[in-house]
Amino acid sequence: MPSLFDPLSVGELTLSNRILMAPLTRMRSQQPGNIPTELNATYYSQRASAGLIISEATQISQQGQGYPATPGIHSPEQVAGWQAVTKAVHHHQGKIILQLWHVGRISHSSHQPNGQLPVSPSNGTPAGMVFTAQWKQVPYEAPHVLTLAEIDAIRQDYKVACQHAQLAGFDGVEVHGANGYLLDQFLQDGVNHRQDEYGGSIENRARLLLEVVDQAIAIWGKGRVGVRLSPYGTFNDISDSNPIDLFQYVLSQLSHRQIAYVHVIEPRATLAGGADQLAPNAPSATNLFRAHFTGTWISAGGYTPESAEMAVSTQQADAIAFGRWFISNPDLPHRIKVGASLTPYHRPTFYGGSEKGYTDYPILSQSA
C-alpha cells in the first residue's frame, strides 16, 4: 500500500516523496521586467524537500500576463533570474518544473504590449474585477477575439517558452490548462463560441491545448511534460455545458501522448487562491476522470495531511499537490512525516510584498 513518503517515478523524473508543491502565484518578481530574483530563489530552495516543485504560473509572453509582478519566461533577463532559482533548488537536491501560462482574457490593457486589449477565443467580458499594472482593481475589459494568425503566434510563444525553460535549468514543464485562463477558455464552451477549427466540437476546442502539449513534447520529451486541468471549475467565469465528455476526451488524448502526469484540481477547491472555503457537494474529478488517463495522477485542492495520505494509500491519486500549506510550512513533508502541527498561513501576505509572509516562515526546528 503506497504512502506519501514512498518514491514515485513520474515520466523521466524520480521523486523522493509524493508531497508536491502546487503552483502558487505570489507576485514578487523584480520590476520593471517581471524578473525572478534572489528572494524568489530563497523561497523555492526553502521548499526543496517537496517531491516536486511546480513553479508559480509564468507568462510565456507579455501578452500572457494578467496580474502585476508575476514572472515571465520570455526575456533573457527572466531566463537568467530563473537560472538562479533552479540552481538553488537543485543545490538542495530538489526538483522543479516551470508552469507555462497565458491568461487570455483574464488581464487588463495595462499589462498588454502597447496597451492593447486582452485576447480571448471569443467575445464576452468576464465577470468580476481585475488588477491593473498599478495594482488598482477595475472591471474587466471586453477582449479582442483572436484570429487564426494570432493563435499561430501564441503557439510559437509556447514553443519559445519551452526552449527558454530548458535554458533556465528546469526539470520539465507543466502546461497550464486550468482555472479559466487561455487554454481553458478554448476548452470550455461557456467562453469558446468560435465557428472555425478551434471552436464548436470538443475535438476543435481541445485543439490548441493539444497542439501546445505536442510542441512541449517535441522540445522536452513526453517524460518531462505535465498538464494542469480543472474540470467543473468556475474560477475566472469559466463553464462548460458537458464537462464529462470534454475532459474525458482531453484526458484520453493526453494519455495517448504518454505525458509524465496530469495535475487535476478538485472542483471542491474551485475558488483557487481566492478563498479558503471548499464546496463539499462538488463532484469528484478523480472519481469521474481518472480512468481516462493511464499515467501519473496528481490531485490538488483542499487536502489535509490525513486526506492526502488516504488518497495515496487507496490509490485514488499517485501524489498530492499542496498549495497554501506549503506557503507557511517550507518543510511541509517533514512536518507531515513526524505528525507536527502546521504553521497557519497569513492570507494578506499571499500576493505582493517582500520577505514577510514569503521567506520568513520557520522550519520545524526554528519554530520549536
Annotated catalytic sites, by residue? Answer: 181
Q: What does DSSP assign to residue 282?
A: S
CA distance 109 to 362: 39
Which residues contact residue 360 at a Cβ distance below 8 angstroms, ignoring those fewer than 6 apart? none
For residue 177, the one-letter residue type is: G
Instruction: Say how far apart CA 68 and CA 45 lie, in whole Å.
Output: 23
Partner residues linked to 263 by β-bridges: 228, 298
Q: Which residues fall within 8 angstroms of residue 313, CB to CB, at 6 or more apart?
A: 1, 2, 3
Provide the residue count of the chain: 368
With the CA atoms of 215, 216, 218 and 219 taken in that order, what torsion angle do they form, in degrees rounded to the nearest 10?
Answer: 120
Three-point CA angle 307, 273, 234, nearest 5°: 90
Strands 19-21 and 13-15 turn out to be unpaired
